[in-house]
Structure formats: structure tokens, C-alpha cells
């Protein structure tokens, strides 16, 4: 017996399909900044670690559930509060960067599904 959220053809109206991916993104956005000690580690986390996590999460979501534009929006919406907790308004550009990375992951996942 499998859960409805695990089926490949789970309905888009079923927003619970996004819970595992949103949890991973939230953990990355809110826990990884705690590891920033200096400018070098901050740039590594912001420009390498987080985008990799965003890409993999988006890829896996869209590979399993087809293309989900909600995943791209979710990527940005989850990042915005962390931007004000850990960074400043200048970090808004990262949300655009993560949205592009998420879109690339979604398109790749859709293409390879």
C-alpha cells in the first residue's frame, strides 16, 4: 500500500507532494548560514552548496511529479525570510539566482522523466 503523495501521477492539487522538497530547502536556507564564518565560506555556501541543493530538490521533484512551477515559487518563498534573518536586502539577487537554478532543475527533471 503506497501513499498518494508517492505516486508519480499525484495530483498537483495535492500540495503535500512538496513537503519533502520544501523541508530540504528550508533546512538548507536556515541551517547552512550558521556555518558561515568568513566571506569565503559564505560565498561557497551561497554560490555552490545552496544552488546544488536547490537544483537536486527541483530535479527530483519534477522527475517524480512532472514539471511543477510551484517548486520554483517555493524555492524563492522559502529563501526570502532567511534573507532577512542572515543577510540583508542586497541578498535578494540570490533569490533570483535560486529561482533560475530551480527552473533548470525542473526542466531537467521533466526532460529525464
Does a structural domain hold residue 11?
no
Does a structural domain hold residue 6?
no
11 has a pLDDT exceeding 60? no
Does a structural domain hold residue 2?
no
Residue 13 pLDDT: 64
- pLDDT class of 1 with cuts at 50, 70, 90: very low
- Nearest CA to 113 among 7, 19, 8? 8
- Whether 3 and 14 have beta carbons less than 8 Å apart is answered as no
Does a structural domain hold residue 51?
yes
Does a structural domain hold residue 85?
yes
Number of domain units in the chain: 1
Does a structural domain hold residue 9?
no
pTM for the whole structure? 0.84
- pLDDT class of 12 with cuts at 50, 70, 90: low
Does a structural domain hold residue 86?
yes
Distance CA 32, CA 11 (A): 32
Over residues 31-76, the pLDDT tens digits come to: 999 999 999 999 999 999 999 999 999 999 999 988 889 999 999 9
Does a structural domain hold residue 99?
yes
Residue 108 pLDDT: 95
Residues of the domain holding 27 = 16-112
**Residue 105: partners with Cβ closer than 8 Å, 6 or more residues away:** 54, 55, 56, 57, 58, 59, 62
Residue 79 pLDDT: 94
Amino acid at each position: 500500500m503506497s501513499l498518494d503523495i508517492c505516486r508519480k501521477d499525484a495530483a498537483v492539487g495535492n500540495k503535500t507532494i512538496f513537503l519533502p522538497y520544501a523541508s530540504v530547502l528550508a533546512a538548507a536556507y536556515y541551517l547552512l548560514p550558521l556555518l558561515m564564518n568568513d566571506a569565503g565560506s559564505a560565498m561557497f555556501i551561497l554560490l555552490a552548496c545552496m544552488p546544488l541543493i536547490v537544483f537536486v530538490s527541483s530535479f527530483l521533484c519534477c522527475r517524480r511529479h512532472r514539471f511543477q512551477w510551484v517548486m520554483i515559487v517555493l524555492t524563492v518563498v522559502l529563501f526570502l525570510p532567511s534573507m532577512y534573518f542572515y543577510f540583508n536586502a542586497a541578498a535578494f539577487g540570490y533569490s533570483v539566482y535560486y529561482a533560475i537554478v530551480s527552473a533548470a532543475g525542473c526542466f531537467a527533471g521533466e526532460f529525464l522523466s
